[in-house]
């Protein structure tokens, strides 16, 4: 099911990814808004002129980079001629600041009692050559920025700073452009200088706060954000950013205060009401307070779907399914074309196990989709997607599949309907169509690992081993530590009768599960089948180290060593095995065989004699050794063995009796039963 969730109280302030840091859009609007309405008594505004008075400016937005670390308002550039003179620039008293780059920013020229308009510094009594040069450099920087040469603009503005270090406009412009050049350290230097120059300028405080947030200095951003709301208490964006920062810093009570200030100042601020309710309920565990804000929002905004959704969420958090159902029914009646309410209504009904009611809610929504209008196909596709999920929850795989397939036709660029259709088809054991739909989904999002592994698994279920092998290879290249998928891939390689591939995959998997003896043994088997005998022996030895008492592993190692013509290695392995299980008679026979292969017959016989002398009652081992020599028609070696045992242990009665009557193998009656490994 789709997540039944309103606005999360822990909305992150900053999202990092791929070198691109995006800040909340409203923050940009706020800074542009303040820039367009600087107080008359303040230093030069952000979108400003050079440090000296002169001709009126015609501002123009700077080019935006295709990818930035900071999403910031554009630095405006004045026309040649120097600084802005408010009286000359706009006889009507309203500033001409050009077109804001942020579409949510206020209309340029808006007046405010708090910020009546921009102003420049006082006009010097006499020409100042140094300031005139600074003005010229400022103009050159503006022109460079307009042409897209940010590096040149920064260099020129840095020269202006040396001449006029307290010029606010230059400092703020440098902070913005350095940010766009992905140089946060330099940007922060100038933003801090701007605050030092004009500590009572809310836009300077806000700019510093945003740069601190962008560099993940969350605690340090608190002070300038608090200064922002103190200096500009009527500007919503400052309160919003501060509230979000406070909740991230686990100060929910203070965050709630900011949202309640906004909600009290504007009864139509739905987000503020919902966020206040969310924090009160989810964080402070105060459902009464939460209900107060949601009730207020609903009474003031009876046709606002988000309020109904939040109200239903609150009731569901109390496990009041009946109440949530009633609220959403009320919402559907009040706003019948709010399609998100139908999806939420279906989820609540599913929670109540009322699948028929949930299906009816989604079908009701589908009946209201305006046919032939722009966006109707996309809307219908999303509703069918939600309906398919309801059918899935109700264990109706066929109906779910039909809805997902139809949704995929209406949403041809989205992989989710295809993937869900494949899941339903898998439940229906229709692996062929499942593989087809997952292949289409992978083509849409080739870098999505979840879709890729589903595709590989479905191909394997459909016994399309070669195709499955290719998909597992792509998936495991991006997810090299997914043990379960590596094991599945190895099975596919085994089905392909490709021991080289199987050994390669198991070779990746075994180090991830280093204590799985069975896996090392499986790897050894694949390596042996692919002709890598030495590697197989090493893998088998790792398996044996994990289960030293398992003779089957030891025997396998000895066989591999013998096959690899490593008789010395086989003898060493069998000695270790005999030490671990001296009662297992076949080990003695195998050891003598290995000694023959290594042409170390005397050494092998002496080792067996030593072991039998230490275990005089081990008739099974004695019988196995004598049988080996009898089969080889080497009775002299048999007698030599018995003599060596008796010489080492005169009390070895079995060996003495065999020696006294030796003319073949020792009598079977003298042998003890042999236990299998």
Kindly list the distances between the CA atom of residue 23 and the CA atoms of 15, 63, 71, 213, in Å, as whole numbers in the listed order: 7, 19, 6, 9
Q: What is the pLDDT of residue 127?
A: 57
Residue 425 lies in a domain: no
Q: What is the pLDDT of residue 616?
A: 87
Task: Report which of residues 390 and 630 the model is more confident about.
Answer: 390
Instruction: Choose the final residue of a domain: 234, 250, 266.
Output: 250
Residue 69 lies in a domain: yes
Q: Which of 206, 270, 286, 230 has its CA nearest to residue 259?
A: 270
Instruction: Choose the final residue of a domain: 195, 226, 250.
Output: 250
Q: What is the pLDDT of residue 651?
A: 87
Dump pLDDT digits (tens) for 338-383: 999 999 999 999 999 999 999 999 999 999 999 888 999 999 999 9
Q: What is the pLDDT of residue 575?
A: 86
pLDDT tier at 497, thresholds 50, 70, 90: very high
Grouping H, G, I as helix, E, B as strand and the rest as coil, residue 487 is: helix
Task: Report which of residues 34 and 144 the model is more confident about.
Answer: 144
Residue 196 lies in a domain: yes
Kindly list the distances between the CA atom of residue 546 and the CA atoms of 521, 549, 570, 589, 675, in Å, as whole numbers in the listed order: 11, 9, 19, 25, 22
Distance (Å, whole) CA 57 – CA 54: 9
Least confident window among 384-393, 473-482, 564-573: 564-573
Residue 170 lies in a domain: yes
pLDDT tier at 630, thresholds 50, 70, 90: confident
User: What one-character-per-residue DSSP string does 102-119 give?
Assistant: STTSPPTT---SS-----
Indicate if the alpha-carbon torsion angle 282, 285, 291, 293 is positive or negative.
negative
pLDDT tier at 564, thresholds 50, 70, 90: confident
What total of structural domains would you count in the chain? 2
Distance (Å, whole) CA 222 – CA 243: 10
pLDDT over 80 (residue 392) = yes
User: What one-character-per-residue DSSP string does 331-364 give?
Assistant: HHHHSTT-HHHHHHHHHHHHHTT-HHHHHHHHHH
Residue 586 lies in a domain: yes
**Residue with the two structure tokens 């030092």:** 196
For 133-160, what is the mean pLDDT?
92
pLDDT tier at 53, thresholds 50, 70, 90: very low
Instruction: Give the β-pairing of 20-23 and 14-17.
Output: antiparallel
pLDDT over 60 (residue 670) = no
Distance (Å, whole) CA 483 – CA 472: 12
pLDDT tier at 101, thresholds 50, 70, 90: very low
Q: What is the pLDDT of residue 31?
A: 33
- Residues 6 or more apart from 608 whose CB is under 8 A from it? 588, 591, 592, 621, 625, 641
Dump pLDDT digits (tens) for 301-337: 999 999 999 999 999 988 999 999 999 999 999 999 9
Instruction: Choose the final residue of a domain: 250, 267, 289.
Output: 250
pLDDT over 90 (residue 5) = no
Residue 617 lies in a domain: yes
Distance (Å, whole) CA 434 – CA 468: 13
Q: CB pairs under 8 A, 24+ apart, for 490-499?
A: 490/522, 490/526, 491/460, 492/460, 492/465, 492/468, 493/469, 494/526, 495/463, 495/465, 496/465, 496/466, 496/469, 498/469, 499/526, 499/527, 499/529, 499/530
pLDDT over 90 (residue 173) = yes
Residue 332 lies in a domain: no
Cβ contact 532:503 at 8 Å: yes
CATH number at residue 650: 1.25.40
Distance (Å, whole) CA 190 – CA 174: 6
Per-residue DSSP letter, 70: S
pLDDT over 80 (residue 97) = no
Cβ contact 364:349 at 8 Å: no
pLDDT over 90 (residue 7) = no
For 412-436, what is the mean pLDDT?
95
Q: What is the pLDDT of residue 663?
A: 57
Distance (Å, whole) CA 21 – CA 432: 43
pLDDT over 60 (residue 647) = yes
Q: What is the pLDDT of residue 259?
A: 95
For 163-169, what is the mean pLDDT?
91
Dump pLDDT digits (tens) for 194-236: 999 999 999 999 999 999 999 999 999 999 999 999 999 999 9
- The whole-angstrom distance between residue 205's C-alpha and the CA centroid of its chain comes to 34
Distance (Å, whole) CA 55 – CA 36: 19
pLDDT over 80 (residue 89) = no
Dump pLDDT digits (tens) for 247-292: 999 999 999 999 999 999 999 999 999 999 999 998 999 999 999 9
Its domain, for residue 125, covers 1-250
Residue 520 lies in a domain: no
Distance (Å, whole) CA 612 – CA 655: 9
* Maximum Cα interatomic distance, the chain, rounded to a whole number of Å: 135
- Show the tokens assigned to 376: 């109707």
Give burial (CB, 10 Å; 0-12/13-18/19+) of 677: middle
Distance (Å, whole) CA 377 – CA 395: 27
Per-residue DSSP letter, 282: I
Q: Which of 415, 435, 410, 414 has its CA nearest to residue 425?
A: 435
Per-residue DSSP letter, 511: G
CATH number at residue 80: 1.25.40.10
Q: CB pairs under 8 A, 24+ apart, for 146-154?
A: 146/60, 146/62, 146/63, 146/77, 148/62, 148/63, 150/177, 150/180, 150/181, 151/181, 153/177, 154/178, 154/181
For 436-451, what is the mean pLDDT?
95
């Amino acid at each position: 099911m789709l997540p039944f969730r309103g606005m999360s109280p822990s909305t992150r302030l900053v999202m990092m990814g791929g070198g691109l840091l995006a800040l909340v859009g409203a923050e940009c609007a706020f800074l542009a808004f303040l820039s367009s309405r600087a107080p008359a008594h303040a230093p030069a505004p952000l979108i400003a002129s050079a440090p000296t008075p002169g001709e009126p400016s015609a501002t123009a937005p700077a080019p935006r980079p295709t990818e930035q670390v900071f999403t910031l308002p554009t630095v405006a550039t004045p026309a040649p001629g120097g600084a802005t003179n408010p009286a000359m620039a706009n006889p009507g008293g309203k500033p001409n600041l050009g077109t804001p780059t942020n579409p949510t920013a206020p209309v340029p020229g808006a007046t405010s009692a708090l910020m009546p308009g921009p102003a420049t510094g006082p006009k010097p009594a006499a020409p100042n050559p140094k300031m005139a040069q600074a003005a010229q450099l400022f103009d050159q920087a503006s022109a460079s920025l307009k042409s897209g040469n940010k590096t040149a603009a920064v260099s020129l503005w840095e020269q202006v700073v040396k001449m006029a270090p307290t010029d606010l406009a230059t400092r703020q412009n440098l902070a913005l452009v350095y940010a766009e050049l992905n140089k946060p350290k330099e940007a922060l230097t100038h933003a801090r200088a701007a605050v030092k120059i004009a500590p009572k300028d809310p836009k300077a405080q806000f700019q510093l706060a945003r740069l601190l947030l962008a560099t993940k200095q969350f605690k340090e951003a608190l002070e300038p954000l608090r200064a922002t709301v103190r200096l500009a208490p009527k500007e919503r964006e400052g309160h919003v950013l501060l509230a979000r920062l406070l909740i991230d810093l686990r100060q929910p009570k203070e965050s709630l205060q900011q949202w309640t200030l906004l909600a009290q100042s504007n009864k139509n601020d739905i987000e503020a009401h919902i966020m206040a309710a969310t924090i009160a309920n989810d964080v402070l565990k105060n459902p009464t307070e939460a209900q107060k804000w949601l009730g207020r929002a609903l009474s003031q905004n009876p046709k606002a779907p988000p309020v109904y959704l939040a109200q239903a969420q609150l009731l569901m958090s109390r496990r009041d399914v009946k109440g949530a159902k009633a609220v959403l029914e009320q919402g559907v009646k009040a706003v019948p074309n709010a399609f998100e309410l139908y999806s939420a209504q279906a989820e609540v009904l599913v929670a109540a196990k009322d699948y028929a009611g949930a299906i009816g809610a989604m079908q009701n929504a589908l009946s209201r989709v305006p046919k032939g209008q722009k966006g109707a196909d996309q809307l219908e596709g999303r509703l069918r997607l939600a309906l398919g999920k309801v059918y899935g929850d109700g264990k109706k795989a066929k109906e779910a599949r039909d809805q997902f397939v139809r949704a995929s036709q209406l949403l041809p660029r989205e992989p989710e309907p295809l993937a869900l259709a494949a899941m339903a088809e898998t439940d229906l054991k229709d692996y062929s169509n499942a593989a087809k739909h997952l292949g289409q989904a992978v083509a849409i999002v080739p870098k999505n690992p979840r879709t890729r592994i589903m595709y590989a698994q479905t191909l394997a279920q459909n016994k399309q081993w070669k195709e499955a092998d290719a998909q597992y290879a792509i998936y495991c290249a991006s997810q090299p530590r997914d043990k379960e998928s590596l094991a599945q891939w190895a099975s596919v390689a085994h089905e392909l009768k490709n021991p080289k591939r199987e050994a390669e995959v198991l070779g990746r998997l075994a180090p991830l599960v280093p204590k799985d003896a069975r896996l090392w043994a499986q790897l050894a088997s694949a390596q042996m089948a692919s002709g890598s005998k030495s590697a197989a022996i090493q893998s088998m030895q790792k398996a044996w180290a994990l289960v030293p008492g398992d003779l089957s592993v030891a025997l396998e190692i000895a066989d591999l060593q013998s096959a690899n013509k490593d008789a010395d290695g086989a003898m060493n392995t069998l000695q270790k095995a005999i030490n671990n299980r001296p009662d297992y008679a076949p080990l003695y026979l195998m050891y003598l065989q290995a000694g023959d292969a290594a042409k170390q017959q005397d050494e092998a016989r002496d080792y067996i004699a030593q072991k039998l002398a230490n275990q005089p009652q081990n008739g099974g081992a004695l019988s196995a050794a004598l049988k080996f020599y009898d089969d080889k028609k080497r009775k002299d070696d048999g007698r030599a063995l018995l003599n060596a045992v008796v010489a080492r242990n005169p009390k070895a009665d079995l060996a003495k009796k065999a020696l006294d009557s030796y003319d073949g193998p020792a009598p079977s009656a003298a042998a003890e039963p042999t236990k299998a490994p």
